[in-house]
Chains A and B, each alone.
Chain A
Amino acid sequence: MTNNGAKEWEAELARRQHVGDGLEFLPESFLRTVGDTPTGDSFELWLKKKVSQGELVTLEAWQCPVEGCGRVIDKSEIEANVCPKCGTDFQEFGEDPIRQTRYRAKGESSRDIYWMIVIHGMNTRGAWQEELSWRLANKLKYSAPVLIYKYGWATIDVLVKRCHQSLVNKLGIRIREAIRFANEHNNNHCPDVIVHSFGSQLFALLLESEEFSDLKFGRVITVGSIIHPDFVWSRHMDSGKIEAVLNHVGKKDARVRAAQFFIPGTGPSGHKGFTDSASINVPEQSYGHSSAFEPSELKKNLGTGGLWDQFLQSPLNHFKPSTAFRLEEWKPFCVLVRCATRFLGYLIFAVLAPFSFVRRLLDP
């Protein structure tokens, strides 16, 4: 066995497991992919080694012997001596199906994005949502609707917990309605979710809400997250409410660091990461609060092989970004300081609430 050949085979096998596609193969087609020619027995020995290591499983398979048909025949069809495609009775034809040895790599198949919900942050109308929707629609060659959720231009509303709950209720009702609509249109799959900034906090509160415990989601991406870093994602994964969470951490995100001082129940997870080992924190050194939504970054993240693309479509057991980390411990800032800043926030709310109310009426 040449080392170079084995390295290429290892890399090709790892690639297939990573993307969750091409897991079953014929030896000759595998070699064709890596540009090798099936000579010698080194490849066969490598396959045997992989089988003994449990990385591959040998499959007994058959193929219809009729020229031009070649359908893969399964066990019950063999027993019935028939090819369901061309209708040949193998006994009458006088030739048995051609025996093949195939291999299947350990691992799960890739997944699809069926539909998506995107929730923006505060003090913005979330222009990135339209850009993301446009790019996603062009990326996928099938229809994967994006529900662009807008809760208006939230400003001082974020300072008071009571306002959070009101926004969560509206979000939950809208999502429940969207899921019902999707089901009516033969889309019974759970939506994937991308949340930003204050939208991440609304989503976390939605997951915690008993009233909306019926809502289930696929994979969740948080950007500029202000969810408390101790948030217990694993509880929601275990209960089947969400499948997985990717926290795209911005190391230059200053805004999320300020969240805990003014917005009740929040923390700097968009900068620090989450402590729950079930979450996947991936840092980006150059990212500020909304950098991930810049057109160039959206192109990179959603493009084939991009971080979001891999997270949304690859099997989770092989999704292991090299820079992923787990936050060991996080403690909120001194309670006295937070009380003082929170009090200041309430004062600002009390003073500006009438103006904000009028503005919301005129320009929600």
Chain B
Amino acid sequence: MTADDKALLKTQVEKILLIQGNQFIKELLRENSLPIGSTKKDFLTNITNAIDEDRLTREMIEAWLKQVEGWGNQHLYLFEPPEITPQDAREAISQSEFSPLIEQGFGYEFPDDLQLTNIELGEEGISLVWQQGKEGWNRTRAKDISPQQEGLEVYKYEAYRQRFDRSTVRFEWRFADPFVGILIHRSKEIDHSTAIELVWQGVSALGICAARTARISLSRAVKSASDGDVETKSTRFGTDDGHVEMVSNLASGGINDVAAVRQARLGLNVDDFPRAEGAFVMNEEGFNLSRDLSIKVVGSIGHVAIWAHCKRDDIYTVLDNLIALNAGDNDE
């Protein structure tokens, strides 16, 4: 790598470090046997030194980004898989106008609007990646200016600190799965309906399927999970005419750790409620995840929100578990 390449890579990495979770930056350093440190400043120093000393290359950073960027801290929507065969799908994509994006690699610069930037065609599945860079504003009360009189008026100034979000939207189809997923990074700048529409337009333009497929209901999964299979922070079972909601206020447990709520849950015939949603904790040990994950599932629209930053494998572990819990779903 030339000195210019290294300088460019360092600038790009600096931007990424600002928004990446510390846990995953540590993992990049640990996996490559580099000094770790404890603050973002330490991480940046160690990564910069490693780039200078050729101990950290662009390829190594891209491989790491592929695992962690755009996974977790996001919303997922599940749909039925397209009817096209994997082989036909690969051929259709290769012949489409987007074929130059195949295996384009992970972009460091994010466009202002959602754009399809990368297509991964693997033996086991297809992954389409849209990226968007946006600014956001964090309220910073410490920088507020106390009310000041100007003439006859009094003015109050509230401070916001600018931040940059790198948002990723994915269309994920593992051929063996009974679902495809649209994964939307949690960002106020992304309207979910618009993003989902954009993804399906892209999928259609790639020749994978002409129209969007049906959503997968996860109501059965919510019902099974809240029966004790998964730590349940809250559930809401609904009909057209009303709903029942149960919530745990415990830090160390869910609704099944509160006797009165647990017994209320036992008194419920959940089959009478076509819709179900819930907030759950899937723990690291019980579900073989890289960390504990808080998730929210809105069953009727096949929507899963995962609050923490995690890895690709974690997302699939969560989805595989939900699909297993969902077996026999016949709700709305």
Contact = CB atoms under 8 A, between A and B. Distances in A.
A143 B294 CA distance: 31
Contact of A94 (B136, B138, B233, B248): B138
Given A74-B294, A80-B307, A80-B308, A112 B251 contact: no
Contact of A72 (B249, B263, B266, B293): B249
Nearest to B251: A61
Interface residues of A, number: 37
Contact of A92 (B139, B292, B308): B139
Given A59-B252, A79-B309, A92-B137, A84 B296 contact: yes
Interface string A276-288: 0000000000000
A82 B259 contact: no
A140 to B, nearest CB: 8
A85 B291 CA distance: 21
A98 to B, nearest CB: 12
A24 B251 contact: yes
A75 B296 contact: no
Contacts of A19: 259
B294 A186 contact: no
Interface in B199-244: 227, 233-234
Contact of B281 (A23, A60, A74): A74
Contacts of A92: 136-139, 188
Residue from the set A21, A75, A94 with the largest chain B CB neighbour count within 10 Å: A94
Interface in B236-295: 248-253, 256-260, 262-264, 266-267, 279, 281, 291-294
A76 B296 CA distance: 12
Contacts, number: 95
Nearest to B268: A142
A322 interface: no
B296 A112 contact: no
A20 interface: yes
Given A61-B251, A80-B73, A84-B305, A94 B292 contact: no
A359 B267 CA distance: 43
Interface string A135-165: 0000011111000000000000000000000
B32 interface: no
Contacts of B292: 74-76
Contacts of B139: 91-95
6 contacts: A59-B252, A74-B251, A76-B307, A80-B307, A94-B140, A110-B259
A363 B131 CA distance: 80
A186 B294 CA distance: 26
Interface of B: 21, 73, 136-141, 163, 186, 188, 227, 233-234, 248-253, 256-260, 262-264, 266-267, 279, 281, 291-294, 296, 305, 307-309
Given A92-B137, A186-B227, A112 B262 contact: yes
A94 B262 CA distance: 36
Given A20-B259, A21-B259, 14 more contacts: A74-B251, A76-B292, A76-B293, A76-B308, A84-B307, A85-B234, A85-B279, A92-B137, A92-B138, A114-B266, A141-B263, A142-B264, A143-B266, A143-B267
A75 B42 CA distance: 23
Contact of B263 (A74, A76, A93, A142): A142
Interface of A: 19-21, 23-24, 59-61, 72, 74-77, 79-80, 82, 84-85, 89, 91-95, 100, 102, 104, 109-110, 112, 114, 140-144, 186
Nearest to B161: A91
Contacts of B281: 74
A144 B259 CA distance: 15
A72 B249 CA distance: 6
Nearest to B258: A21
B37 to A, nearest CB: 19
Given A80-B308, A92-B136, A109 B186 contact: no
B309 A84 contact: no
Contacts of B308: 76-77, 79-80
Contact of B251 (A21, A72, A109, A144): A72
A85 B307 CA distance: 12
A75 to B, nearest CB: 7
A24 B184 CA distance: 36
B229 to A, nearest CB: 10
Contacts of A21: 258-260
A72 B267 contact: no
B294 A77 contact: yes
A229 B233 CA distance: 46
Residue from the set B263, B292, B293 with the largest chain A CB neighbour count within 10 Å: B263
A5 to B, nearest CB: 26
Nearest to A75: B292
Contact of B307 (A77, A91, A102, A141): A77
The 9 residue pairs across chains A and B that have the minimum distance between CB atoms: A94-B139, A76-B308, A142-B267, A61-B251, A142-B266, A91-B138, A80-B307, A21-B259, A76-B294
Given A74-B294, A79-B308, A24 B253 contact: yes
B307 to A, nearest CB: 4
Contacts of B264: 142
A76 B249 contact: no
A25 to B, nearest CB: 9
Contacts of B293: 76
Contacts of A91: 138-139, 163
Residue from the set B260, B291, B293, B307 with the largest chain A CB neighbour count within 10 Å: B307
